[in-house]
Structures are given as structure tokens and as C-alpha cells.
């Protein structure tokens, strides 16, 4: 993408909080046309829905951990805006887009978002964490493409439109591990690069959204193999949420975490705005970006009042590069070729041959009666 301006978290052109509540009509913009939409516009809708749901979750958890009524009132106010934004973004998905079509798009997000974050991740360990799960979501796309062929007789190419390869990554049957092997080392906010902090927030929100989508739709199928495949892949998303949420600094205060969340929301909307090809959606991304700038200010005010901290010293005035959805075929192939045999042992990554004999004990339990991700590729001819 050419000539983007960097993201400025303290851009003064923001929307006052009192002007952020919208009517039911305003909250529910018309959906995109699934036949005409750019695949990466669809990806941005999925990503921003996940970002908003994560913001909503976070504000509820924070609220439940404070008895300060002034603070509770402010959290409730911000949260109402977040939930309205989430409605608007998720309601952009059209009614005629089937669950499996949306699922293919979720794994396209997971592939091309993760690749973009990994390419721009300055911390080598955080980059390894991203690359590790990148080729697992890439493999999910391949398995779900077979399910789409089975359920609808359609190619997943109708969704990904040639931008993302549909091919095997690290095989999904090998992705089931002991929970403790999904724990990762965490960063220290005092020394970490701001891009590392933002990447951890973005990818955790995206993987959490994917988990929630599979858990809230997988049971809706009458087909038994589809039911089991969603159960299997949803559990891998649970693993991914565990590894990604490990990375953020756990020693940050609630207010410091709130500041990072709001800056990250603004950064994501700004990235969408700058890269969006559909002018109607670009206008929504800009509108919500300017709301998030105000959330950053509001949390900054609370940080000043309650902890004597200056938010302007916590974040640089300009942040680059932006998040860009684009084709990453070459990069993904390279990671598949070099890291397919990598597995975690505790917080560290090892090649398969270096793992202790009992490493696969969990996998041998869950895979004992057959593995849906294997069965689907055996049952259905390779999708066109």
C-alpha cells in the first residue's frame, strides 16, 4: 500500500463522547454484497468485530474488579459505545453468507493478519509465537475448504479469491497439545516496542473472536463430521488464545491495560481506514477511529487522576507500520517449509525429534477415536 501516514494516537481531531451514541438505524448499516466484496474488506469486518468484542469483554472484567463508582460510570459509558460499534461492524456481514463461507473468511483473516503482524514484529520471540500459529490457522483454512466442498459443493476460492493459498500447513491432527505447552513468555511494557504490545492485543482479540464464532456456530450443523470438525478446530483456537494472551505484560495496572486497548482500537481502525477500498466502509472506519481517539483521551485523563501517569509518555506520538491485509503467499509457504515440524515444550519451541517421549500424551487421548480434520480430507476430493 502506498503512502500511508503513520498512526497518531493523540490526533486532536476526535469525536466528543456525548456525540458517540447512535440510533438503531445508524447502528445497523446495510451489509456488503458477498458476491462483490473485496476479500480483504470482509477480513477487516471480521477483525474489527473481534477487536470490539475484546474491548467489551475487557471493560466488563475491569468493572467487576473496581468499586470506584466514578470509574464504574466511565467504564459503563465507554462500554456502551464499544457495544454499539460492535453491532455496526458485525451487522455489515450479509444474511446470505453461510456459516462455512464466513468460517473460510475467518481463517483467511487468521492467515493474512498473522503474517502481516509477524513480518513487522520487532521482538524475535513474539515473532516466533506468531509464525508458530500462523501455519496452524493456514491448515484450518485447508480443512474447512474441504468441508465447504462437502456441504455446499463450492470452492473456498469463491471467498479467498486467489489471495490466500489453500494448502496444508502444520497438520491440524498434530496441533492438540497439553495445555501447559501453550503457555508463552511475557513481555515487559517498560522495554517492549510499542508494535509488540499492539500486535499482542490485536492477535489475541482476533483468535478469541474465532474461538467464539466456532463455539457459537459449530453445533448448528446437522452433519456429524461438521460438528466434530468445529469442535476440534475451536479447541485449537483456545490454544491460540492461551499462547497469545501470554505475551502481554501481566504486571500492567487495569488503567494501563485500558490505555493500551483503546490505543490499539484506534490503531486498528486507522489501519482499516487507510487501506479500505470500499468508500462506504472507509467512512465507517474513519468515524470509529475518531471515537477511539476520544476513548484514548478519556482513559488518559483517568490515568492522570488515579495513578499520576501521563499517557503521552506511554505511547509514541506516531506509530508505524499500519496493519495491512494483503497477499502473503510467499511468506506463508516459507514458514510452512521451515517450521512445519516445530512444537512447543513449555514456553520454548523445539523440532519434533527433540521432544520427550510423553509429549504427545494429550493428543493420544483426544485423537483416539479418529480425527475430524483428517477424516474430512480423506472423505472429500481436494477442492478445486
DSSP 227: H
H or E stretch including 345? strand 342-345
Taking the complex as a whole, the smallest distance from the CB of residue 139 to Fe ion amounts, in Å, to 8
Nearest to Fe ion of 194, 236 (CB atom): 236
Nearest to Fe ion of 239, 249 (CB atom): 239
Please tell me the distance from the alpha carbon of residue 219 to that of residue 208, in angstroms, as a whole number. 18
Nearest to Fe ion of 19, 354 (CB atom): 19
Nearest to Fe ion of 41, 111 (CB atom): 111
Please tell me the distance from the alpha carbon of residue 134 to that of residue 115, in angstroms, as a whole number. 7
DSSP 157: H
Taking the complex as a whole, the smallest distance from the CB of residue 223 to Fe ion amounts, in Å, to 19
Taking the complex as a whole, the smallest distance from the CB of residue 365 to Fe ion amounts, in Å, to 21
CB proximity list for 219: less than 8 A, separation 6 or greater: 227, 230
* C-beta separation of 177 from 239 below 8 A: yes
Nearest to Fe ion of 52, 123 (CB atom): 52
Instruction: Tell me the backbone φ, ψ of residue 349, rounded to 5 degrees.
Output: -100, 140
What DSSP string runs through 232-283?
HHHHHHHHHHHHHHHHS-TTS-HHHHHHHHHHHHHHHHHHHHHH-S-HHHHH
Q: In DSSP terms, which residues pair with 7 in a beta bridge?
A: 319
Q: Angle at the Cα of 313 (from 76 to 1), degrees rounded to 5? A: 85
Nearest to Fe ion of 181, 265 (CB atom): 265
Taking the complex as a whole, the smallest distance from the CB of residue 66 to Fe ion amounts, in Å, to 18
Q: Which three cell numbers stand for residue 380?
A: 472429500
The residue among 343, 340, 331, 337 whose CA lies nearest residue 115 is 331
Taking the complex as a whole, the smallest distance from the CB of residue 30 to Fe ion amounts, in Å, to 21
* C-beta separation of 106 from 90 below 8 A: no
Instruction: Tell me the backbone φ, ψ of residue 337, rounded to 5 degrees.
Output: -65, -35
Taking the complex as a whole, the smallest distance from the CB of residue 84 to Fe ion amounts, in Å, to 9
Please tell me the distance from the alpha carbon of residue 98 to that of residue 43, in angstroms, as a whole number. 15
Nearest to Fe ion of 207, 249 (CB atom): 207
3-state secondary structure of 348: strand
Residues contributing to the site for Fe ion (CB under 5 A): 52, 55, 82, 85, 110, 137, 140, 207, 237, 240, 262, 265, 292, 295
Please tell me the distance from the alpha carbon of residue 383 to that of residue 147, in angstroms, as a whole number. 9
Nearest to Fe ion of 101, 265 (CB atom): 265
Taking the complex as a whole, the smallest distance from the CB of residue 204 to Fe ion amounts, in Å, to 11
Q: How many helices (H) and strands (E) does the chain have?
A: 13, 2
Taking the complex as a whole, the smallest distance from the CB of residue 274 to Fe ion amounts, in Å, to 17
Taking the complex as a whole, the smallest distance from the CB of residue 243 to Fe ion amounts, in Å, to 9
Nearest to Fe ion of 85, 204 (CB atom): 85
Amino acid at each position: 500500500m502506498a503512502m500511508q501516514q503513520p498512526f497518531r494516537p493523540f490526533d486532536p481531531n476526535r469525536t466528543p463522547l456525548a456525540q458517540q451514541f447512535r440510533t438503531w438505524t445508524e447502528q445497523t448499516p446495510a451489509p456488503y454484497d458477498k458476491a462483490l466484496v473485496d476479500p480483504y474488506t470482509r477480513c477487516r469486518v471480521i477483525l474489527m468485530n473481534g477487536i470490539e468484542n475484546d474491548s467489551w469483554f475487557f471493560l466488563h472484567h475491569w468493572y467487576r474488579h473496581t468499586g470506584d463508582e466514578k470509574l464504574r460510570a466511565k467504564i459503563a459509558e465507554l462500554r456502551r459505545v464499544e457495544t454499539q460499534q460492535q453491532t455496526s461492524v458485525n451487522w455489515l456481514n450479509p444474511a446470505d453468507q453461510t456459516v462455512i463461507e464466513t468460517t473460510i473468511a475467518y481463517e483467511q483473516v487468521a492467515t493474512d493478519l498473522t503474517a502481516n503482524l509477524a513480518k513487522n514484529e520487532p521482538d524475535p520471540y513474539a515473532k516466533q509465537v506468531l509464525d508458530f500459529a500462523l501455519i496452524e490457522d493456514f491448515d484450518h483454512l485447508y480443512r474447512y475448504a474441504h468441508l465447504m466442498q462437502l456441504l455446499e459443493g463450492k470452492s473456498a476460492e469463491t471467498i479467498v479469491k486467489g489471495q490466500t493459498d489453500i494448502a496444508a500447513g502444520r497438520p491440524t491432527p498434530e496441533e492438540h497439545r497439553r495445555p501447559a505447552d501453550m503457555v508463552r513468555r511475557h513481555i515487559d511494557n517498560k522495554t517492549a516496542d510499542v508494535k509488540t504490545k499492539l500486535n499482542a492485543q490485536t492477535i489475541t482479540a482476533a483468535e478469541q473472536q474465532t474461538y467464539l464464532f466456532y463455539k457459537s456456530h459449530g453445533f448448528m450443523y446437522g452433519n456429524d463430521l461438521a460438528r466434530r470438525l468445529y469442535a476440534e478446530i475451536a479447541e485449537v483456537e483456545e490454544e491460540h488464545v492461551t499462547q497469545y494472551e501470554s505475551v502481554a505484560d501481566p504486571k500492567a495496572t487495569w488503567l494501563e491495560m485500558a490505555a493500551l486497548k483503546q490505543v490499539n482500537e484506534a490503531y486498528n481502525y486507522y489501519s482499516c481506514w487507510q487501506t479500505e477500498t470500499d468508500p462506504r466502509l472507509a467512512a465507517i472506519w474513519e468515524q470509529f477511529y475518531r471515537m477511539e481517539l476520544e476513548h484514548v483521551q478519556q482513559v488518559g485523563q483517568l490515568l492522570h487522576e488515579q495513578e499520576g501517569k501521563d499517557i503521552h509518555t506511554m505511547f509514541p506520538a506516531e506509530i508505524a507500520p499500519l496493519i495491512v491485509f494483503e497477499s502473503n503467499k510467499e511468506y506463508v509457504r516459507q514458514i510452512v517449509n521451515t517450521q512445519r515440524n516445530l512444537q512447543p515444550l513449555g514456553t520454548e519451541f523445539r523440532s519434533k525429534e527433540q521432544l520427550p517421549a510423553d509429549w504427545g500424551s494429550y493428543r493420544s487421548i483426544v485423537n483416539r477415536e479418529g480425527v475430524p480434520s483428517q477424516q474430512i480430507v480423506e472423505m472429500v476430493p481436494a477442492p478445486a
